[in-house]
Structure 1
Amino acid sequence: MEDLRAEIIVNGLVQGVGFRYFVYRNALKLGLKGFTQNLFSGEVLTVVEGPKYLIDELYEIIKIGPRYADVKNASIKFSEAKNEFINFEIKY
């Protein structure tokens, strides 16, 4: 099965609530590669590569978020994997 790349952006109350660590833990659990980071706009960006069904699973988890988060909107854009990631990390 071919890997894909997805760019996921969420907004709402998603900074200062452990959101990136939540994404990080779940991406590791699913064996996905990429990164998550806060954006100056107050959104959280996650770029991830792996099998589509695992990315879809992560997306469903991200749309819920950790306990203190309040995700208002989430979007996902798929593209071809670039295979540039070795693991999954939190970017600061």
Structure 2
Amino acid sequence: MPENNDNSRLTAWVRGRVQGVGFRWWTRARALELGLVGWARNTEDGRVEVVAEGPREACVKLLALLRGCDTPGRVDGVVERWSEPRGSLGGFVER
């Protein structure tokens, strides 16, 4: 199987005006469309943390959407971290 289809875990921290604008709901909808599992939550410092697991190609697409211009609010930057999937997630939820 090609490497880009291996499952991955993406953790992304999104900064900007991303709280109170439907960003977590929007992220959940995009992740479900891509067949990913995980969650999105607000952090105390104003960012949104997104954890998604699934095919690496789908995670890359979600990351591109998070960085895109069609998000609710305003994204000033996204920091990402890639790791091995833990496999303990089901569905995609807003926390």
Q: Normalising TM by the smaller chain, what interval?
A: over 0.9
- Equivalent residues in 2 for 1:15-54, closer than 5 Å: 15-54=19-58
Count matched residues: 90
Q: Which of these residues, 63, 66, 75, is aligned with residue 71 of structure 2?
A: 66
Q: Which residue of 2 aligns with 1:4?
A: 8
The one-letter code of the counterpart of 1:74 is: V
Q: What is the alpha-carbon distance in structure 1 between the residues aligned to residue 58 and residue 52 of structure 2?
A: 10
Q: What is the alpha-carbon distance in structure 1 between the residues aligned to residue 77 and residue 90 of structure 2?
A: 29
The one-letter code of the counterpart of 1:73 is: G
Answer yes or no: is 1:14 the counterpart of 2:14.
no
> Given the two structures, how large is their TM-score scaled by the length of structure 2?
0.90
The one-letter code of the counterpart of 2:19 is: Q
Which structure 2 residue ranges, 5 or more long, are not aligned? none
Answer yes or no: is 1:79 the counterpart of 2:83.
yes
The one-letter code of the counterpart of 1:66 is: T
Would the aligned equivalents of 1:18 and 1:66 in 2 still touch at CA under 8 Å? no
Runs of 4+ in 1 over 6 A off after TM superposition: none
The one-letter code of the counterpart of 1:11 is: R
Q: What is the alpha-carbon distance in structure 2 between the residues aligned to residue 38 and residue 54 of structure 1?
A: 22
* 1:2 positional shift: 2.3
* 1:66 positional shift: 2.2
* 1:61 positional shift: 0.6
Q: What is the alpha-carbon distance in structure 2 between the residues aligned to residue 83 and residue 32 of structure 1?
A: 11
Would the aligned equivalents of 1:17 and 1:66 in 2 still touch at CA under 8 Å? no
